[in-house]
Structure 1
């Protein structure tokens, strides 16, 4: 039987690597370690002996004709391929495990053949070379990988295979998808279509880019996929919308915030919710008999505050109650951790998404009329000068006498012209039990006192965004009938309650989360501002509001300290603070120490900021879409509020957004408050781009 040749010379059959594949050759000439060979591809080549694979042979006469040599090579190529096809390399790897750390191809060949010839050894070497997941070639030997390494390399190999396939299929598909035009596309009509394996992977890639466009890990793959497509900050979103894997006008901000809308997120916590309902029903606490009233929008179902007010001579006695889901709350439970991550409720034109499961927010803990609910009750007295004094803070249960709307409250507050000093409270049932004159005077006193303390109060009518049904919704901006007295009452009650709870916490040494704004405001900034140019001027001096453990002034509100407690159904800071206060009132100890609150603060702030961006930016998208839909039919009033360089900032009071226009478009004379009729050119709601095409000064009202 032919044997392997240790030192191949003329007439010897050899193998070498070319293009990552073994190539067969016949040695024609050898000189000082350099070989001239005829390859299986009928070509002559020169190569050093060091390039040869370690299984040379068999040897033939050196003077064979070219035709005989070619037939010889073809014969060995066919034989070695046939032999390699019959080798179970994975079985060989199993046999080698624990037997050898490394071995030559001959050793592995001997596991199958008693006395392997060169073709059998070469076939074995080819199979081992090709199985890179299980063997490492360290010439002249092969090293079997461990089971752990094999598993890792198999995963890597599969990822490489999928990546290559994804790029090959995805590039053409995405390019054709982009070139198909705006709007949803019939994917079945495209020439390039991903198959059942690549389609979900490609869709997942687009969704991942929508959620985190700055993720560096898949960035190289994304660069390959988007090759030949334009640079666009929302390319993945636009492609996903055209493909139909996300709906038109998709709210990508939710993905970036990691916030799930709807109620599906709460389904895993149904048992915890049911347990909270049982514990609420078993709560044994006295019911406060006073006729608390809540004031909210007509669509509000998560009612988390109510109040009652009455005259006390020249002073006004007030009690503010806020919902107390914290009475049985466990922040470390699965539901508690999920709510910490949600951080706040979202109120968007598309719909409301609650921080808490809807059953908790709208039912179990909502201060619904006629139903006993656990609550924190803050009692205070406001003197004739508007100075509030805390007279009590307690935990108990209340039964709200009435849930009313802002319009109903406005009617009550506006109809009664009597002042607190000469008002005789009606003691009949229902809403008439509430001293509406005292309530109106209360709001005025509290606001005037804050203004004296430097408060900057912004009053502007925010339009309601209404979306008509359909895949391409028509956006309407509706201005609701104002309810200034009711809005003033509710806002002042919430501010004073948050201020007095902050004072109480400071006096008692109870750690809470405080909202601070320790900015330096001009002396003339204090007051109520309504005109766009005035609003813009004073707001420029505002510093950011911060969430801190250390109480500091909130200069914009004109209060020395402020801790949010009045919306525990809607904001995580309020829920945590209410839990702190409730535990101190009932057990003498807070739920969290100061150190624990400090350790939680970065994540709480980060989640509030991330979800808060959705609340701030999404309404602007719809407003700009409204401008786009009405661009040709309407002009918009723009009020000049600031000039910087060659651009002028204009406020649009009807939409409550700002735009910029070139200075030379607005004429020679320009002053804050100057009004212009604007027409817009390009509007891109997604990229937040809007260009003023025309501007004509409006005549001033006489």
Structure 2
């Protein structure tokens, strides 16, 4: 064979690029810089000289039939492919790096062979054309990229290739998963075997298939989290095309695949809330430092035998009380509030993480605490018998329960008893008039009476307990009523309302910026009172408006408070932690920690995060209630008509849920308070669908 041909004529083997692929051809004729070529597939084409690659040859003389030409082209193409398979362009780049800035394919071929012929030069050229991360083809030579550019381009190329691999596998996999979901059959195990969506193919690596599977799982999780602007979000936008427009599509695919279990709480991902306590592990050093600072600040607790009252499962105890009758027949109430603000490092990475959580979540499947559990369940929880820092609010009230004064002070306390609502309620029977249970309930009822006289609206509805047993698809839901503890619950709730209202008044009087809960509306005079029946509760709730979180102290109409700044749950709510820190800083240093402008900068984001946690807290129990109805479709449930119309609104008092029913299903005469028995069907917890199949008047 002859060497490269500089000016190819008839009988010369040439190459050109078409569709990003190298094609071999035979020159049939040349005229004025344009070539008529015969391709290996027996087709002819015409190209200008500029389209030919700069490694023409060999040139054949004599006459050749078309079949002979095709055989020659096929032989050269196969030879060049075989040679190219043994060429490592990255190795060529390393050999040339630092010596030359650009060179021809023939020069690079000479690094591998002595006097390389056309097939070897073409093989090297083909491989260098493929390696765009290392070389740029500038005819007739190749530019050699510097090392930093190669590293950047290599990384980009790997990302692009991985994305193409993930998209290619995901398109078939997600269609198959949806088909499995619709038909109710189990999904095959992935990574799949030969021929499956994640099969690496001949010569592929199992690790590559596993990486692709992991990437697709991440895509589904990102889609459930409703991420935007991420690589996973871009891949999901491509993969969901051709699949049904279902808002829960990523969750359904993930459940079918087994990425997440049945009943997975996708709201946590959508709202960006980390469940459990693992999120706090990176802050172990901060927690240890807080433990040391707290130990250095410890002092002898005050002697009052405070009592906390919570549900039996509560472990984050953030309030306790001690009440006494005064000589004039009034009351002295001392509320001890857990005080994590004492050593809290506002502005730290831990503080930002807690602010992002904004609130603890108390769901049927468990509790996720706002603070690290080492704080909220350990260092600062008002655990019985343990000395703890506290903010004590010392109230003086007259015999009717009207507030005369409130003095806050930082203190250390030792709670005498961690009691429960049930225990306090039981202790009322036969209790001495001046005992803690009796005095607490007595004062609580008077405080409620004072608020109702000012226009407060109290909706007293049963609190259904949702119990889960089993896991995944085998989870069973039970709903049962908690024992009624009206005295104990009234005492505790009224003490908290008193403290938060007094904090709002204190902030306004002292010019201290606090985060307030406001509901600046006008309620009709007949709304005031305690409402217990479903129809009455529904009527007055419709008169209310959502509360706002703002810095300006305004009226909270439902509670009947002129200012309301929550601070009684600093272990559970970030706004309460901020308000407590403001009050504590004034008491210890004479000035607040932040002014209104500084608090105003964090309030919008804090409000958004508080609302996000609130959505989870509202919607998730409802989800489990619908699962309960789906599991008990044959059962009949008590319902009460609370609002008439074309669709009648029924309240389910035991389950604390509303459902709307076509009027014709219930009869001609409908009135509030009318009792029915209903049976459910078409229950879908994910889409919040609950329909009544049948109804009978009781």
TM over 0.5: yes
- CA change 1:153–1:446 in 2 (3 A) is same
In the other structure, the counterpart of 1:666 is 666
CA RMSD of aligned residues (A): 2.8
Equivalences for 1:169-248 in 2 at 5 Å?
Answer: 169-180=169-180, 181-182=183-184, 185=187, 187=189, 192=196, 194=198, 195-212=209-226, 217-226=231-240, 229-248=243-262
In the other structure, the counterpart of 2:309 is 295
In the other structure, the counterpart of 1:581 is 583
Matched, 1:16 2:25: no
Q: Is the 8 A contact 2:515 2:550 kept in 1?
A: yes
Q: Is the 8 A contact 1:28 1:62 kept in 2?
A: no
Cα deviation code 1:329-371 (max 9, x no counterpart): 1133443333222222221111222222223222322212222
Alpha-carbon distance in structure 1 between the residues aligned to 2:98 and 2:165: 36
- CA change 1:584–1:54 in 2 (3 A) is same
Alpha-carbon distance in structure 2 between the residues aligned to 1:470 and 1:112: 64
Structure 1: gaps of 5 or more residues: 426-431
Matched, 1:459 2:460: yes
2:334 pairs, out of 319, 322, 343, with: 319
In the other structure, the counterpart of 1:371 is 386
1:361 pairs, out of 357, 370, 376, with: 376
Alpha-carbon distance in structure 2 between the residues aligned to 1:613 and 1:371: 35
In the other structure, the counterpart of 2:363 is 348
Equivalences for 1:176-575 in 2 at 5 Å?
Answer: 176-180=176-180, 181-182=183-184, 185=187, 187=189, 192=196, 194=198, 195-212=209-226, 217-226=231-240, 229-312=243-326, 313-413=328-428, 415=430, 425=434, 432=435, 434=436, 436-471=437-472, 472-575=474-577
Alpha-carbon distance in structure 1 between the residues aligned to 2:372 and 2:495: 27
In the other structure, the counterpart of 2:202 is none
Query: How far is 1:31 from its partner?
Result: 4.0
In the other structure, the counterpart of 1:429 is none
In the other structure, the counterpart of 1:30 is 30
Number of equivalenced pairs: 682
Compare 604-613 and 193-202 and name the one that shifted more. 193-202
Q: Is the 8 A contact 1:89 1:131 kept in 2?
A: yes
Alpha-carbon distance in structure 2 between the residues aligned to 1:628 and 1:522: 40
- CA change 1:115–1:694 in 2 (3 A) is same
SS in 1 for 2:586: helix
Query: How far is 1:610 from its partner?
Result: 1.8
- CA change 1:652–1:14 in 2 (3 A) is same
- CA change 1:538–1:117 in 2 (3 A) is same
Alpha-carbon distance in structure 1 between the residues aligned to 2:147 and 2:662: 68
Q: Is the 8 A contact 1:649 1:659 kept in 2?
A: yes
Query: How far is 1:402 from its partner?
Result: 2.0
Compare 168-177 and 204-213 and name the one that shifted more. 168-177
Alpha-carbon distance in structure 2 between the residues aligned to 1:94 and 1:466: 66
Q: Is the 8 A contact 1:514 1:549 kept in 2?
A: yes
Structure 2: gaps of 5 or more residues: 199-208
Alpha-carbon distance in structure 1 between the residues aligned to 2:610 and 2:211: 38
- CA change 1:198–1:63 in 2 (3 A) is same
SS in 2 for 1:341: helix
Alpha-carbon distance in structure 1 between the residues aligned to 2:415 and 2:276: 28
Cα deviation code 1:294-350 (max 9, x no counterpart): 111122221111112222224222111101121111133443333222222221111
- CA change 1:547–1:92 in 2 (3 A) is same
Query: How far is 1:571 from its partner?
Result: 1.3
Alpha-carbon distance in structure 1 between the residues aligned to 2:485 and 2:457: 20
Alpha-carbon distance in structure 1 between the residues aligned to 2:285 and 2:531: 49
Compare 99-108 and 268-277 and name the one that shifted more. 99-108
SS in 2 for 1:584: helix
- CA change 1:538–1:149 in 2 (3 A) is farther
Query: How far is 1:689 from its partner?
Result: 1.1
Alpha-carbon distance in structure 2 between the residues aligned to 1:62 and 1:16: 24
- CA change 1:69–1:440 in 2 (3 A) is closer
SS in 2 for 1:541: coil
Alpha-carbon distance in structure 2 between the residues aligned to 1:65 and 1:469: 79
SS in 2 for 1:261: coil
In the other structure, the counterpart of 2:70 is 70
In the other structure, the counterpart of 2:601 is 599
Q: Is the 8 A contact 1:286 1:396 kept in 2?
A: no
Query: How far is 1:264 from its partner?
Result: 2.5
Alpha-carbon distance in structure 2 between the residues aligned to 1:52 and 1:9: 12
Alpha-carbon distance in structure 2 between the residues aligned to 1:211 and 1:3: 62
Alpha-carbon distance in structure 1 between the residues aligned to 2:27 and 2:373: 82
Query: How far is 1:638 from its partner?
Result: 2.7
In the other structure, the counterpart of 1:428 is none
In the other structure, the counterpart of 2:201 is none
